Amino acid sequence: MDGTIGILSQVAFWGLYSGCIYILLATGLNLIFGVMKIVNFAHGEFLMLGTYITFFLFVISGFNPYVLLVGSIPILIIVGVIVERLCFRPILGTGKLNEIFISLGLIYIFQNLVALIWTDEWRSMRSPFADILINLGPLQLPLDYLIIITVTAMILVSLYLFLQKTALGRAIRAASQNRRGAMLMGVNVERVDMLTFGIGAGLAGAAGTLWAVSGQVFNPYMGSIPAIKGFAIIILGGLGSIPGAIIGGLAIGMVENFTAFTLGGSWKDAVSFILLIVVLVIRPTGLFGEAEE
Amino acid sequence: MKLFNPHDPRHLLTSALLVLAFLIPFVIGSNLYYLTILILMLIFIIYASAWNFLTFSGQGSLGHAAFFGLGGYAASLMAVKLGLPPLVTLLFGGCFAALIGVLIGLTCVRLREWFLAMVTFGFAVIIQTLIVSQLAPVTGGWDGFPVPKLVPPSFPGYLMIEYYLVLLIAIVIILIFRYLLQSRIGLALAAIRENEVEARAAGINPVPFKLFAFGVSAFVTGIAGSLEIFHFGYITPEIFGIDLSFWPIIYSITGGLGTLAGPIVGTIVVTLLWDGLNSLGLTYARFIIIGVLLVLIIIFLPRGLVSLPDEIKKRLKKRRS
């Protein structure tokens, strides 16, 4: 009996850990959606780019990979700003299908640019703490997972402080509550768009670093599946709601790991979509989404 | 409605294209490489047209590979297990895809764009998972299984026969789409696409029409999927890949969304570009080029290549005045 509880809490812990990456992705998506009312389907490619940048910096510098967050986040913010300025700004307001389609173009560009530079074989890297396990009662927790959970929490707290305490954060919140109103109050919403998109991409970049550090394999095409899970989360948690993204991310992480544990690993990816479809059958606007029009 | 009007430049162009399509095998002779490219091009014209038909009702799908693959699996399983000729099981593949299409459509008709895109995308992943896990005893899992060819290779000039068969099917399907779009159903679909609330006010219940569009689109997609499988003679779950969901979208956007000619023009242009770049040895770079092309077209030519003549005329007029 004691053993089962041990295994179950171990699985729950894995869920918590894999939830972290989804939370970072979904928070970024929701931040962008809140301000610009677009869904970036190429968000997973930012994650992928983050893993490769981490991998590249790790190989050339040999620093502790967690330090490399300092590299991957700013680089991804810059990439995000450029993508917003060049691709999403021109089509803003021309129809929702357009932004979905433009993301498809971006997916192709990013995946194959990376494949061109680093080839498309599966890669992985090894964290210096990979062998350290921490014993907590019946649990054996890898130190890496603990660090990842802590880092995610720190990133979320600093995002919260940024949104609440700084002028730019206030501008972002204003623009996401009422775009026109914010514009009338003198907020430069186009600059806010660029910045928000950059932050969203930066969060995905952080998720990418954590993905690589945790020893998971990656290749240029790995971004799509986590991104889709990100979408499932923001639908479950409500479009534009950051607390929803956090709760939804944890929920998906847990459900996935328990499903993989009980039904087998091949169901890991499908279960979040089944959940998503079931929720949308019952509530077409998402769990916490309100009906528009 | 006249099928041919010699004073309409579009009709002239269409007939020229048709004549070209009929004559081209004689020009390239029995070059199997070019014939294969042409056959696949036709199959993708069918696929892209089917995907595009969905956009006439204001819906979209990021997971049409689900129907493409389901059609392929249903048709090839029928052909292998019951020994029926591929041309017959083709229809079964289409019907099966349509059935599943209507079922998933029941969820999708109530959803708005983003949700629709995510659900359809997720659906393709679920189907692939099912095929390689629960259904693996029947489907052979990741390994797949061999399938009879549309025209047995023992026939002399079998690729030529296959080409004309697929061409015929493509023409019939596009004529059916044309007929549907000019009928009252097409009008209702356009009304729903432009403004669903107003369409309701005009007494059109959007749900059956959207379901109809979903079903027809899935049916034709299933046929296209079966054709591809019967062309290659082998089926694997890779048919559900993300790439296969994206191709019809890229073709339709490049050609022009919401037009009958769009997917055809787009498929021809992109396929030629694709194979041309391949022969230059740009394996990854061609994806990037296609991606950049897609982004540029969405930003600068939102109605696709089909609208290029009009756009040029407009530019010229602006310059003159």
Topology (CATH level 3) of domain A2-282: ABC transporter involved in vitamin B12 uptake, BtuC (1.10.3470)
- In a domain, residue B299? The reply is no
Locate the chain B residue with the closest alpha carbon to A119.
Answer: B284
Give the DSSP letter string of B214-245.
Answer: HHHHHHHHHHHHHHHHHHHTEE-GGGG-HHHH
Measured distance CA(A190)–CA(A128) in Å, rounded: 42
Q: How many CA atoms lie within 13 A of B263 on its CB side?
A: 26
Cβ-Cβ pairs closer than 8 A, A with B, add up to 130
Question: When comparing pLDDT for B53 and A4, which is higher?
Answer: B53
Question: When comparing pLDDT for A6 and B254, which is higher?
Answer: B254
Q: How many CB atoms lie within 10 A of CB B12?
A: 13
Do the beta carbons of residue B104 and residue B115 sit within 8 Å?
Answer: no
- In a domain, residue B225? The reply is yes
- In a domain, residue B136? The reply is yes
ipTM higher than 0.90? no
Residue A1 has pLDDT above 50, yes or no: no
Chain B residues touching residue A104 (CB < 8 angstroms): 246, 249-250, 291, 294
Interchain contact, B123 vs A224, CB within 8 Å: no
Do the beta carbons of residue A71 and residue A54 sit within 8 Å?
Answer: yes
- In a domain, residue B288? The reply is no
pLDDT digits (tens, 9 = 90+) for B106-145: 877 777 777 788 788 778 877 887 888 778 888 888 888 8
Interchain contact, B291 vs A105, CB within 8 Å: yes
| A245 min Cα distance to partner chain B (Å) | 16
Q: How many CB atoms lie within 10 A of CB B81?
A: 10
Token representation of residue A104? 């498809």
- In a domain, residue B4? The reply is no
Q: Where are the domains of chain A?
A: 2-282
Q: How many CB atoms lie within 10 A of CB B96?
A: 23
pLDDT digits (tens, 9 = 90+) for B59-118: 888 889 999 999 999 999 999 988 888 888 999 999 999 999 998 888 777 777 777 887
The residue-averaged pLDDT of A109-134 equals 85
Of B62, B295, B299, the CB nearest to A106: B295
pLDDT digits (tens, 9 = 90+) for B188-230: 998 988 888 888 888 888 889 999 999 999 999 999 999 999 9
Chain A residues touching residue B130 (CB < 8 angstroms): 270
Interchain contact, B288 vs A293, CB within 8 Å: no
pLDDT band at A201 (very low <50, low <70, confident <90, very high): very high
pLDDT, mean over chain B: 87
Q: Considering its fold, how many domains does chain B have in total?
A: 1
In which element (H, E) is residue A26 found?
A: helix A2-36
Measured distance CA(A113)–CA(B311) in Å, rounded: 32
pLDDT band at B8 (very low <50, low <70, confident <90, very high): confident
Interchain contact, A280 vs B115, CB within 8 Å: yes
pLDDT digits (tens, 9 = 90+) for A58-115: 988 888 888 888 889 999 999 999 999 999 888 887 777 788 888 888 988 999 899 9
- In a domain, residue B178? The reply is yes
Domain that holds residue B140: 31-241
The residue-averaged pLDDT of B274-292 equals 85
- Report pTM: 0.85
Measured distance CA(B121)–CA(B142) in Å, rounded: 20
Q: What percentage of chain B reaches a pLDDT higher than 90?
A: 36
- In a domain, residue B137? The reply is yes
Instruction: Find, among B186, A37, B179, B178, the residue nearest to B194 by Cα.
Output: B186
Residue A48 has pLDDT above 90, yes or no: yes
Place of tokens 């290659």: B232
pLDDT band at A26 (very low <50, low <70, confident <90, very high): very high
Place of tokens 């479009």: A239
